[in-house]
Amino acid sequence: MAAPLVGGAFLSASLQVLFDRLASPKVVDFFKGRKLNSKLLEKLKITTRSVKVLLDDAEEKQITDGDVRKWLHDLKDAFYEADDLLDKIAYAALSSEMEAGPQNSIDRFWKFISSQCPLEKEIESKLVEILEILAYLVDQKSALGLKERLGKKLSSQKVQTSSVMDESEVYGRQKDKEVIIQLLLSDDANCNNLGLIPIVGMGGIGKTTLAQSVYNDSRVKEKFGFKAWIYVSEELDVLKVTRSILNVVSSTTHDFNTLDLFQVALKDEVTNKKFLLVLDDVWNDRYDHWDILLKPLKAGAKGSKIIVTTRLQSVASVMEDVHTHHLKEISEEECRALFSKHAFGGRNSSAYPKLEEIGREIVKKCNGLPLAAKSLGSLLHSKRKPEEWDRVLKNDIWNLPKDNILPALRLSYHFLPSHLKQCFAYCAIFPKGYRFIKEELVLLWMGEGFLGQAGFSMEREVTGEEYFDDLVSRSFFNPNGDVCWPTSFIMHDLINDLARSVAGEFCFRLDDDDDSCEVPPRTRHLHYVLRKSLLSNKSEAITNAPLLRTFLSLKAYGNIDAKVIYDILPKLERLRVLSLFRYCSISKLLESLCNLKHLRHLNLSETLIEILPESLCCLYNLEILLLVKCDKLVKLPLKLGNLANLCVLDIEGTHLQKMSPQMGKLSKLQKLSYFTIGNESGTSIQELGNLRQLRGRLVIRNLQNVMDVGEALKPTSKENTSQGVGIGLGGRC
């Protein structure tokens, strides 16, 4: 199996973050206090520049050279260490500003510096250590044969995208489609009411696309009383799949505690009704699991059908009385047509004879796999120079040892711009079948610092949305097409495998159904996929990764081991993103939360949190605080106004009786769900007048506390309407 590849351009994005930090006023002012430190700072700038010119050559050579690949991994580790150190310096400077009070800023800063000798010694020692590592890596360039050169990446031109699915994506599958449709339209001659149709084929061959085409055909729509599409992926959790089916076919949402209750309800819903169910990407071939899953579905009317897409013949083999359809590769001609559709768009390919010639050779390397043709076509869509196409055709990636990653997909990643590589590789922490919401992912990218290091601004959000749209245009994300999730996107399983491959040990998913509990020590981004609760052995595994920057959970309700909340999390002092979304066992956080000084993104949505510790207000770097549907939350911390960098405060679905005093100090705040007017000092409607960056919808509550509503709203509306704020009057809370 080919080893994970770390792109030089990926590291270029990390280097740019370092350069931005080195030039920041807070870091520069800090180093002005000690001449020795200033020299070390300048040396760090020079050393990082020396490294940067080697990256493009290293990226090419790592494909066939394991030593270069290790060099890049070690370099990435060093970049993380340097970034953490500079962030620590910036926090120290920011902390001095917030805690020293209203005195002259220069006097305040130097007073703080004089009290920080131990901190300075620690920083100086760590900086020397990092410089030694970087110098050692630079010295290895001769032994590794690395040369300084400017990058020659393919030019990147933005392509406009649309969320509308293209029904013409199906190439070379008309016969397959008709076979499946005829099986769906025919009532089986046997006595069974339920017909099973497995579609079997290798990854990237188009099983899901074929099933979607059949699913949306008008003849199929007329045949069945209702339809449901369920993405299953690698684990067939009978309870989860049963619940998903029930919630699609039922007019009400069910939240039972046992499989039996779900199955009884599902049987009632499907009895004597003709339905079509698609189970996409199934890997489980255990007969006992299938037997349990199908029991309530057999109550459906005669002619009900289930389509199962799978890579494994063994999945089809455990089903009885099935019509297995084996999907083969499409022809070279059809593959070329699909490639041309994405490479040339609506343009006439004959106008580019040289590109057509090279394109034919590229298509041969796709081996009849639609996903490969689509990915490479998307990669070359805006490229019009023959040498750009030739670089793809003759790239060494085609010669890598075979593994589960298609060479065509590796090439699509290889030629991504550095900023997109970083954002894409981060998605390795999400499980297969995950539904991506653009706005949620952009907020995570912000928290990680992928969209710039400055305070929050609308430009950063727009940048993140453009990055996401660009990845969609290059076929790394696809519109979900699910009526229940109309604005969501999915990532093909093989694209997910690609993300995990390029991210290597730096991104890791901890799954409670996985026998392995080992979290690599160099892991920086962790997503725990919990279907039950975070067991003690999994808790211990987290302690093996003290350098974590991301601790993410997007589980649908559950409990988390108290050891994680009260013992492990406070020790993960480098965290930038922390999500405890939907963990109903959480009702409070410890004051030791203040240890997480690097934290930018905190998501406590849909927990039972009742009160937030005052120490939260010491997290001066915090930009995003999500408290959606925390209906037990009674108040916000008193000094919330100290969070000078806070830009998103989402309290939708909470029932706060009053706001924190001096909310007007949150000058960078762009999103606020509602504002409750109070009688206490610092809680009046005038606080909103200082929030000039607010946009979106804002509900104002408790207007009975305002003597003259129209007059009170004037400063608020005048300042904020130009930012796109829609003000709603919520009356009494």
The pLDDT tens digits for 198-220 are: 999 988 899 988 999 999 899 99
pLDDT tens digits along 518-563: 888 889 999 987 655 545 566 677 888 889 999 987 665 556 666 6
pLDDT tops 90 at residue 361: yes
- Write out the DSSP string of 626-693: E-TT-TT--B--TTGGG-TT--EEE-TT---SSPPTTGGG-TT--EESEEE--SSTT-SGGGGGG-TT
User: Residue 163 to residues 160, 468, 619: CA-CA distances in angstroms?
Assistant: 11, 12, 37
Give CA angle at 207 (202, 211), nearest 5°: 165
Do 439 and 488 meet the contact criterion of CB atoms below 8 Å apart? no
Q: What pLDDT score does 307 carry?
A: 95
Inform me whether the pLDDT recorded for 162 exceeds 50: no
The more confident residue out of 567 and 281 is 281
Predicted TM-score (pTM) above 0.85: no
* Stronger pLDDT, 566 or 681, i.e. the higher one: 681
Q: Is the pLDDT higher at 355 or at 688? A: 355
Rounded Cα distance between 413 and 7, Å, is 9
Predicted pLDDT of residue 699: 87
Residue 108: pLDDT above 60? no
Confidence of residue 285 (pLDDT cuts 50, 70, 90): confident
How confident is the model over 82-92, as a mean pLDDT? 85
Question: How high is the pLDDT of residue 149?
Answer: 67
Say what the pLDDT of residue 97 is.
74
Pairing of strands 478-479, 488-490: antiparallel
Q: Which of 6-15, 48-57, 633-642 has the highest mean pLDDT?
A: 633-642
Q: Which of 65-69, 158-162, 246-250 shows the lowest per-residue confidence on average (mean pLDDT)? A: 158-162
Report the pLDDT value the prediction gives residue 159, as an integer from 0 to 100: 40
Contact 472, 600 (CB under 8 A): no
Provide mean pLDDT across the span 592-605. Answer: 90
- What mean pLDDT do residues 149-166 have? 43
- Which pLDDT score, from 0 to 100, does residue 708 have? 64
